[in-house]
């Protein structure tokens, strides 16, 4: 395996530091530095950017990001066993890697980052969707990040890019496609990881749009989409019951038939419905 830096191979790092993968932390490590560099390249030009990485573990992706020229990487890792190997990487790349030993769900890394920011992560699968939803629903748009390049279970990646009429189309597709350009840029088989997970994985690259594709109040849109897809097989006149006064009139005003189901309604119509509801709220 070709090394991209003067540091030891990842298998050796894991052995030296006794970093036996823990299932509870969603630890499936990438050990091929050519592959981690390839993932880092999917994030675009990093040379002028700060990168936020969640869950660096033994640092395979971190090394890829630094080797690809990231101006600075801020890496947030919950497992204190990973601090020693990450400190070795920080020493090899002076002033370019800061490591925080914390739960990514519990801290706000914003004050440690300088724009432009790209977020790149091989996420722990148990918190991946929750982190994504947080990044997609900030208090203000545009968000502090310019792009997200994230590894998910392939099934979650398919939900993100799904179109109306497909079984996987739902809240994640609408939240993602409303204000970002989201594309699956790589697929990875279980053998790419150690230990191999049971599922296939995929990398999704999201670019933040300067403004939403269609105007809508974020809270209203999030609320009706969550309610509508909660009972996705029901007609909207039933699944959105109680969401607003004069529901059927507003559905019709938005160009939606009250007998349609959530999964048949495109993003533009969801936004039109959010506007019709907000206008009388």
Q: Report the binding-site residues for S-adenosyl-L-methionine.
A: 28, 30, 55, 77, 103, 122
Contact string 197-236 vs ligand SAM (x = CB under 6 A): ----------------------------------------
Q: Which is nearer to ligand SAM, 10 or 272 (CB)?
A: 10
Instruction: Judge residue 114's burial from the number of C-beta atoms within 10 Å of its C-beta, 0-12 exposed, 13-18 middle, 19 or more buried.
Output: exposed
Strands 201-208 and 145-153: antiparallel
Residue 152: strand, helix, or coil: strand
List 7, 14, 27, 37, residue binding ligand SAM (CB under 6 A): 27
Candidates 76, 72, 4, 74; CA nearest to 35 is 4
Taking each helix axis as running N to C, give the angle between helix 171-179 and helix 218-230, from 0 to 180 degrees, rounded to the nearest 10.
Answer: 160
Cβ neighbours of residue 56 under 8 Å, at least 6 residues apart?
62, 75, 76, 77, 82, 86, 99
Contact range with ligand SAM by CB under 6 A, out of 23-31, 183-191, 227-235, 265-273: 23-31
Q: How many whole angstroms separate alpha carbon 46 and alpha carbon 175?
A: 26
Query: Would you list which residues are annotated within the binding site?
Result: 28, 30, 55, 77, 103, 122
Q: Does 25 bind ligand SAM (CB under 6 A)?
A: yes
**Least distance in angstroms from the C-beta of 257 to ligand SAM:** 43
**Least distance in angstroms from the C-beta of 81 to ligand SAM:** 8
Helix and strand element counts for the chain (H, E): 11, 9
Q: Does 153 bind ligand SAM (CB under 6 A)?
A: no
**Positions of E strands within 37-87:** 50-54, 72-77
Residue 230 CA, distance from chain mean position = 22
Q: Does 184 bind ligand SAM (CB under 6 A)?
A: no
**Least distance in angstroms from the C-beta of 207 to ligand SAM:** 22
Residue number of the CB closest to ligand SAM reads 55
List 77, 203, 239, 261, residue binding ligand SAM (CB under 6 A): 77
Q: Does 12 bind ligand SAM (CB under 6 A)?
A: no
Total residues interacting with ligand SAM, rule: CB under 6 A: 23
Q: How many whole angstroms separate alpha carbon 171 and alpha carbon 165?
A: 13
Q: Does 161 bind ligand SAM (CB under 6 A)?
A: no
CB 139 within 8 A of CB 110: no
Q: Does 50 bind ligand SAM (CB under 6 A)?
A: no
Residue numbers at the binding site for ligand SAM (CB under 6 A): 25-30, 54-57, 60-61, 76-79, 82, 103-105, 122, 124, 127
């Amino acid at each position: 395996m070709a090394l991209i830096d003067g540091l030891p191979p990842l298998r050796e790092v894991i052995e030296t530091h006794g970093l036996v993968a823990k299932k509870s932390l969603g630890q499936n490590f990438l050990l091929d530095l050519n592959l981690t560099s390839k993932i880092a390249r999917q994030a675009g030009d990093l040379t002028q950017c700060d990168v936020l990485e969640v869950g660096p573990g033994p640092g395979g992706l971190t090394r890829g990001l630094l080797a690809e020229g990231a101006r600075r990487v801020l890496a947030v890792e919950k497992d204190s066993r990973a601090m020693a190997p990450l400190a070795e990487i920080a020493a090899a790349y002076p002033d370019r890697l800061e490591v925080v030993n914390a739960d990514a769900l519990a801290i706000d890394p914003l004050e440690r980052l300088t724009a432009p920011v790209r977020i790149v992560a091989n996420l722990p699968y148990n918190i991946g969707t929750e982190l994504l939803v947080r990044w997609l629903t900030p208090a203000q748009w545009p968000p502090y990040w310019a792009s997200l390049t994230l590894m998910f279970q392939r099934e979650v990646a398919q939900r993100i890019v799904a179109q109306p009429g497909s079984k996987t189309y739902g809240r994640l597709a609408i939240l993602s496609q409303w204000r970002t350009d989201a594309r699956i840029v790589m697929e990875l088989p279980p053998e790419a990881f150690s230990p191999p997970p049971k599922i296939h994985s995929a990398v999704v690259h999201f670019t933040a749009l300067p403004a939403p594709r269609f105007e809508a109040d974020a809270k209203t849109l999030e609320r009706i989409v969550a309610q509508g897809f909660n009972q996705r097989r029901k007609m909207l006149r039933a699944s959105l019951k109680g969401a607003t006064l004069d529901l059927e009139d507003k559905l019709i005003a938005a160009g939606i038939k009250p007998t349609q189901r959530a999964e048949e309604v495109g993003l533009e119509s969801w936004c039109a419905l959010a506007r019709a509801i907000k206008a009388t709220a």
